[in-house]
Amino acid sequence: MPFSLHFSPTPLITAPSPLSKPSFLVPYYHTLHAPKSPLCSSMEHALTHQGKQEAFDLRPEDSQTLPLGLRRDAMPSHVAVIMDGNRRWARLRDLPVRSGYEAGVESLRKIVEICCKWGIKVLSVFAFSSDNWFRPKVEVEFLMSLFERGMQEDTGIFFRENIRISVIGDLTKLPKALQELMVNLEEATKNNTRFQLIVAVSYSGHYDVVQACQRLALKAKCGLIEPSDINVSLMEQELETNCTEFPHPDLLIRTSGEFRISNFMLWQLAYTELYFAQSLWPDFGEAEFLKALLAFQQRQRRYGV
């Protein structure tokens, strides 16, 4: 049975989700973030009809077997990916830009399946940066519709395969319907434990640090903490990656031959191993992913010593 997650382009898990703050901060956060809403009808429809969708084929033996040379004891718990090169892939083939994003979805589906089979716990993908809002309006609208359609189609898959979805970024800039879908999907899958997919949408590393500082400032204003109490631990509790047990990626992969991290998880990547692939994201598959993991396992990780 083939893997059949029909993700949106570069999407699609919880952060200190700005949409679910402690009650003492509710009066202050309503001006910064959109509120949660009840389970939307489209999600209810997906749950009711989830039997109509196919799940990916993950037999027991698959979870026990790794490619030659790959060691389970050295597998990264959290892999982050900057999925770059969708537009260039399309242009090289004289295809419309949307075809590049659609092809990128297929690559994401494959990588999610591989992560589940090989025992990687968390995959974070940079789906849409805060800078992407400056792209042509038609392109942005297509991406938003692709995100929405993908989530509506695959809710049943996430439940059946025990996958948790979290979305990080400034969701207030997204269309209201898409905000609602993302928040509901996060809430509905928050207890799934097999694998976590974190999707960064309207995200930047600068934004993440700033919003964490704002939350700490509000707590100090309320008298809940003293400025002198603020340390690395408190800061990390307010970063959007507090949605996961593994907030610091072990490995960051960037495709398309670019050697930048492009404002992605600036705080979290402090000691992350970096791998830069020449492949454009739609061409990035199992062989390239295996190459990145083997390179990771051959490195001796150092944490400032």
Residues with active-site annotation: 84
Which residue is associated with the tokens 């799940």?
55
Backbone phi, psi, residue 43, to 5°: -70, -40
SS3 content of the chain, % helix, strand, coil (to 5): 50, 10, 40
Q: Which residues contact 108 (CB under 8 A, 6 or more apart)?
A: 7, 10, 11, 83, 125
Indicate the residue type of 253.
I
Write the DSSP symbol of residue 50. G
Cα 141 from Cα 128, distance rounded (Å): 12
Beta bridge partners of 164: 196
**3-state class of 71 per DSSP?**
coil
